[in-house]
Amino acid sequence: MSTILPAEECGETPLRRQPTQRRSARRVERMLDACAELLDEIGYEALSTTRIAERAGVAIGSVYQFFPDKRAVAQAVTRRHVEGFVSRIGARFLAEDYGGWWDAVDAIIDEYVEMNRTVPGFRSLHFGDVVDLNMLDPVADNNTVIAGRLRGLLLQEYGLADSEEFDLAILIAVEAGDAVLKLAFRRDADGDPAVIAEAKRLIRGYLNRQFARASAS
């Protein structure tokens, strides 16, 4: 029934091989950190595996040991952004009491805004759409993958009725929110507060109408 991919169906890892030792895993993390920093400093077009290796303090062969090219490194950074985003939202859901799904939606937007402000590479890549609309999955576009993750969180926390209509509503909310929040950061490097507030009102209003329609049918 669902048209949105759950987490376990979101494509293959961009790694050529998984690091099996702690030392190798730390080296890969340094490469991802270096890539994220460079994306904010010089952008994707000027990014190269040589620059990633130099910033990470590793040999260029170490980069190619795990990644075939710069796109794969950026893809791994994007996946880290997604996992961090979902994890941080999940932590908020556990730590804070919300009056309902509408407050949870506000929290999701607040987390997106915070990551834009503080997480290296996020404002340059977001969820990979800047580089490739299929950065996260070869079949589903990036926002469809994100919608699937948020859909799972909302279903789990609020027991909303699962349906194709619910899937479509979440996907449209993600697409609309993504566009308006990007506008907020184009207008102001820290995110224009007025536009962020409008994004919350827009998504709340849209989802409220869709959920009310689903409940009535």
Tokens of 163: 């349906």
Q: How does residue 155 score in pLDDT terms, banded at 50, 70 and 90?
A: confident
The percentage of residues in the chain with a pLDDT greater than 90, rounded to a whole number, is 50
Average pLDDT over residues 131-150: 75
What confidence score (pLDDT) does residue 5 get? 37
Condensed to tens digits (0 to 9), the pLDDT of residues 31-89 reads: 999 999 999 999 999 999 999 999 999 999 999 999 999 999 999 999 899 889 889 98
> Which of the 8 DSSP states describes residue 162?
P
Going along the chain from its start, the domains and CATH numbers come out as: 7-216 (1.10.357.10)
C-alpha angle 122-123-128 in degrees, rounded to nearest 5? 60
- In this prediction the pTM is 0.80
| Polymer length of the chain | 217
